[in-house]
Amino acid sequence: MSGGLLVAGTTSDAGKSVLTAGICRWLHRAGVAVAPFKAQNMSNNSAVVVGPDGRGGEIGRAQAMQAAACGLVPDLRFNPVLLKPGSDLASQVVLLGEAVDTVTAGNFRALRPKLAETAYAALAELRTTYDVVICEGAGSPAEINLRAGDYVNMGLARHAGLPTIVVGDIDRGGVFASMFGTVALLDPADQALVAGFVINKFRGDLGLLRPGLDMLHRVTGRPTYGVLPWHLDLWLDAEDSLAYGRVLGRPAAPHGTDWLDIAVVRLPRISNATDVEALATEPGVRVRLTVEPAELAAADLVVLPGSKSTVADLAWLRETGLADAVTAHAAAGRPLLGICGGFQMLATAIHDPVESRRGSVPGLGLLPIEITFDPVKTVRPAVGTAVPDVPVRGYEIHHGYVSTADADLPPLLHHADGRPEGARLGAVHGTHWHGAFESDEFRRRFLTEVARSAGRHGFTVAPGTSFDAARERSLDLLGDLVEEHLDTAALWRLIETGAPADLPFIPPGAPPTT
């Protein structure tokens, strides 16, 4: 068969990514050859995928997570278009894994036909390879100002004949109005593909919700396929840092007697914030995101994460007083970690004619290195070791590189071929490698050293913590929730046979699109 389904949402962060992953895991466990797909993603949380030519490319982190739910190695076709915002007005365009352009509101219209053609071709290839492709929309299909050129939501559904379900987050309120309004703002041909709804993040007595579900069915002629409960343990692999609360996950009680407190600076253009999720899986480790300088003073470890706009975010650090708080933390001998863009900020100088085009600017001066930006983007998996011979895996996504370094500066890591990677000076650490802390032994040794430097002598790492196992538990939990709370028989009919032919039109509807 060549079945398919589009998971659309009433808003961004309504639950499209997790519902897509849950449906993928349910189908995979049932023995179906299933793959995920998102025509266009806008996110600075990306994963590195090795393409058919052997080169590294980028896709959205959520699609890499959905691939894992399908039991698949990530494929560039799973997310053919990735937009990485570098400012409020411009985004880098990553097409089939490769950065090809910078898009603004002014030139997006000219570029869009090429992006749509690439996305449609990728989906067509996947549908010849897999039994089922579960597609994720972007934002909301009711963004009627964008409908004429849409190839991600109903434009994709129309092109590929995909039945569509709409998921809404009841925790935000207004879910019934947003579901009804989503359908009612679509033109007749789009409405004909919207088969029903799923409610996400429900807490409480389902009986109290039932009258609303029944009324929604009466006024739209479309059923609700199920109600997913709010669950504490669904927080790994966030598509965007805004999906996090102030504290990541649900910190488990310490293995020893002390907690370890980690403060992560929530940069305006934070990228790959998922790097710190591995730290948050450790018992006794509390990881929180903050924009408050005062909150850095009490932290045992401060993390400067990746950034899509290193120089601009460094300027923001200085404007907000966070730069002073970071340097004071390091001056006190307390542990500091910079990852990718955060590592670059620790340099004495940054030479950037590429990303910000601001030329040379002073860094925080906490590591005796200089960073230079190259027009060619480094995108590749990373394999190596930490001293002494601790295996580490990660990935690199950056334009900046270490162009000058103190000859006596010890590296944090080594590439498999022996080349040094990153730097460490006292309690200040930095690396360009994302995902390094998903390597369990390295993470445990790093946190043990941090605890010792911070004076948390009662902190002890739990020897059996596995990040990969935690991710698998999360994916299995998503599959369980789909099986337990959704009408999977009805979903399967929808995937197999398409949207019902007798779905009613809900006025007023939008003017028909061409």
Q: What positions carry a catalytic annotation?
A: 340, 434
Angle, vertex CA 364, rays to CA 360 and CA 369, nearest 5 = 70
Chain length of the chain: 514
The β-bridge relationship of strands 46-50 and 3-9 is: unpaired
What's at 379, amino acid-wise? V
418: tokens are: 């022996």
Do residues 438 and 65 make contact, with C-beta atoms less than 8 angstroms apart? no
Q: Coil, helix or strand for 412?
A: coil
41: tokens are: 């993603």
- Residue 30 to residue 88: CA distance in whole angstroms: 43
Q: Coil, helix or strand for 431?
A: strand
- Residue 350 to residue 327: CA distance in whole angstroms: 17
Largest CA distance in the chain: 73
Q: Coil, helix or strand for 475?
A: helix
Q: Select from 4, 9, 7 the least CA-distant residue to 143.
A: 9
What are the two backbone dihedrals, phi and then psi, of residue 3, each rounded to the nearest 5 degrees?
-85, 160
Question: How many C-beta atoms lie closer than 10 Å to residue 214's C-beta?
Answer: 12
Residue tagged 């299909």 (tokens): 141
Do residues 100 and 58 make contact, with C-beta atoms less than 8 angstroms apart? no
433: tokens are: 């490698």
Give residues with Cβ within 8 angstroms of 501, minimum separation 6. none
Complete DSSP assignment for 59-88: EEHHHHHHHHHTT----GGGSSEEEEESSS
Do residues 316 and 268 make contact, with C-beta atoms less than 8 angstroms apart? yes
